[in-house]
Amino acid sequence: MSIRYIEETKHLILETKNSGYHMKIDHLGYLQHMYYGPKPGQDNLSYAFRYYDRGFSGNPYDMRYDRTYSLDSMPQEYTSFGVGDFRVNSIAASCSDGSRCAEFKYVSHEIVNGKYSIPGLPSVYDDEGKAQTLIVTLIDNAANMGIKLYYGVFEDLDIITRSAEIINAGSEMVWLRKASSMCLDLPYGNWDLIHFHGRHCMERQVERINMFHGVHTFISGRGMSSHQQNPFIIICDHDATEDSGICYGMMLMYSGNHKTEVERDQFESVRVVMGLNDDRFRWELEPGTSLHTPEVILTCADGLTELSHNYHRCIRNNVVKGKYKLSHRPVLVNNWEATYFDFTEEKLLEICGIAKDLGIEMFVLDDGWFRNRKDDNGGLGDWVVDTDKLPEGLGGLISKVKGMGLKFGLWIEPEMISEDSDLYKAHPEWALTAPGRAPMMARNQLVLDLSNDEVHEYLYDTISGLLRDYDIDYIKWDFNRPISDVYSHSTPSARQGEVPHRYYLSLYKLYDRLTTEFPDVLFEGCAGGGGRFDAGMLQYSPQVWCSDNTDPVARLAIQYGTSFGYPSSSMGAHVSASPNHQTGRKTPLSTRGISAMAGTFGYELDLTKLTVEECGEIRNQIKRYKDIEPVVHGGRLYRLSDPAANSRYYCWEHVSQDRSRCILSVVVTDPQANYTLVHVKLKGLDPDAMYSVGGEFECRGRTLMQNGYTFPQLTGDYPAQQLDIIRI
């Protein structure tokens, strides 16, 4: 059993293969957090927290004569608010009497086999029945509010999930102003904080800082998980490395507005609160109703590599769903960077003919295929094929592409609407726009109000109609602007604070309907590139376009940061033209291939402009990728270089689960005259097995891990090398 309750000491203990999570119901009914870390066994860990007078921290009324007992210093599982804990709180609400405080105490708990699910929200699932669930109920009798804390324990995955259900147990209205998914207190330690910031075309850049006193806040209020702050952080020992040191990962499984607060308080304790962004959030809880918060995926590991492996394993096997979660993904070519909006059917078919000859498996038609879409100023919302570009319609093009032996994919941006569209003219109230105010525009488009049931049904009918009427194998689902002017014309004024979250409840429902009805279609998420790269999207889209930046050198930093939480199988990555369209950088085709092979593989260039030599190289790249894909997508990833310490090169390896094969890759980003050769120590091999190293020599795994491997001198512009290390 991975969940235990010890009646004598009122302890609840969660255990995974390598970690333990302890909490305690104290004598006043507060649910205290005792411990999260390497597995300590069943010992009573109450001794670790000492009670003493904290100096004007305040005491609950029942302990008014004991100044050592204070909520302001006590580690808690989910905080009360407004009653004496002055650190960041998990929840905030207004009651019908105007009060803004609540004191939650333990009522009961339940241990059940299997993993809980969250109504309307994606969550980690348990197909094999190995997980267990703990549900702890807390209540504040004065405010008539209840909270159910959900803990899912995946013992073999070293994963614990958390979510909260906030309940109005009274007869009067409650207005939620903050609803977090989890609170985690770490009373002791010298911690570093790692987060993943960025911008369009430069997502998930790694930043590691030693925590200062005060509150670090990481948010997105952009209507998506965002390019700027991914909903994923790591707290680790100050001296933690890839290979050792306690590391805690916290990943919010949500694609909308989110907020993470990390506070280092006056007593050196660290608290992490993660959940919905409370800026402009206001949720009416009618009597007898509840709100479920998004799920947080927690893991505790020895070193950053182990932490990443835990997340990769969890996402591949227990987050991603459907036909493509573990199977081969077609090698594709997308016409966007080849033609942008300016294409004809003849041009597309010319690209397809070359693609088939090269070994590419799927053609994807990107933006510009529908009426009134000569540029990005119109057409969104109508989704009627442009017969000037495609005289025989979409069906005619698909028939010809399929006749060449290729699969067919299609780009859509269904959540958006152009003012210059028939849909907007018929239903301007379907767009998110504030009354009496000219809206902010981005790419000259607006966002449809998915919280409106009519909009939801329109989008379902439109997308399902495309998938029923045409033989489509793949959908690239884009989302190309942040959400502003958030006002729903179908929602009462008093409930406008619910619209951003209701938007995502509707989006997840839409995705669920479509992926259930069309299980053979591969969906790829996209939001101006990597603006919605999160575990929530990965429930429905096995892969997400990692970034609009297809420069192979810039991509190394993006893929490096992404790899801390997300597996290679989730990263959409393509070979593009040189010079690159975003940066103007010139790179060898071999380097572009090696960089893209670290994710899901494809091409984003005009195949009709290739030389004979380039065509031959691409044929070999595709054969190579298909050969190594099972290792890249299903194996373990090891980061062998740290760009913060050495910016000269990126080096990584993928090792098969049985350790029989290793794919070692390096890209030199700063070649120098008479430079020190790239030397790396390999990881993850069988120490006692003999390996053939690139056909160059044979060596034991132990030697390669302890003594390392030295690459030959790599010269020229951004040289790269990839080699096989095969167990013999």
pLDDT in tens, 53-90: 888 888 888 889 888 888 899 999 999 999 999 999 99
Q: Which residues of 335-357 are buried (b: 16+ CB within 10 A; e: fewer)?
A: bbbbbeeebebebbbebbbbbbe
User: Residue 309 corresponds to which amino acid?
Assistant: H
Distance CA 550, CA 334 (A): 12
DSSP string over 492-526 = -GGGGGGHHHHHHHHHHHHHHHHHHH-TTPEEEE-
**348 close to 404: Cβ distance less than 8 angstroms:** no
Distance CA 248, CA 228 (A): 22
Q: What domains are there in the chain, each with its CATH number?
A: 3-318 (2.70.98.60), 332-634 (3.20.20.70), 649-727 (2.60.40.1180)
Distance CA 469, CA 483 (A): 31
Q: Which residues of the chain have pLDDT under 70?
A: none
The pLDDT of residue 194 is: 98
The pLDDT of residue 16 is: 98
Q: Is 724 a catalytic residue?
A: no
3-state helix vs strand vs coil in the chain, percent to 5: 20, 35, 45
Distance CA 261, CA 88 (A): 7
Q: HSE-up of 466 (CA within 13 Å, CB side)?
A: 26
User: Residue 2 corresponds to which amino acid?
Assistant: S
User: Residue 581 corresponds to which amino acid?
Assistant: H
Q: Say which of 185, 415, 534, 653 is annotated catalytic.
A: 534
Distance CA 643, CA 560 (A): 9
**412 close to 521: Cβ distance less than 8 angstroms:** no
DSSP three-state, residue 710: strand
**526 close to 477: Cβ distance less than 8 angstroms:** yes
Counting runs of H as helices and runs of E as strands, what totals does the chain give?
12, 38
The pLDDT of residue 672 is: 81
Distance CA 375, CA 377 (A): 6
The pLDDT of residue 507 is: 98
Distance CA 285, CA 65 (A): 36
**561 close to 650: Cβ distance less than 8 angstroms:** no
Output the CA angle 574-195-202, nearest 5 degrees: 30
The pLDDT of residue 53 is: 82
Q: Is 534 a catalytic residue?
A: yes
| Strand partners of residue 302 | 246
Burial of 56: CB neighbours in 10 Å, binned 0-12, 13-18, 19+: exposed
User: Residue 721 corresponds to which amino acid?
Assistant: Q
- Hey, what are 213's tokens? 């006193």
The pLDDT of residue 265 is: 94
pTM, rounded to two decimals: 0.97
Q: Say which of 237, 242, 614, 642 is annotated catalytic.
A: 614
Distance CA 721, CA 645 (A): 21
Burial of 81: CB neighbours in 10 Å, binned 0-12, 13-18, 19+: buried
- Hey, what are 677's tokens? 């050769």
SS (H, E, C) 182-194: EEEEECCCCEEEE
DSSP three-state, residue 621: helix
The pLDDT of residue 60 is: 87
The pLDDT of residue 150 is: 98
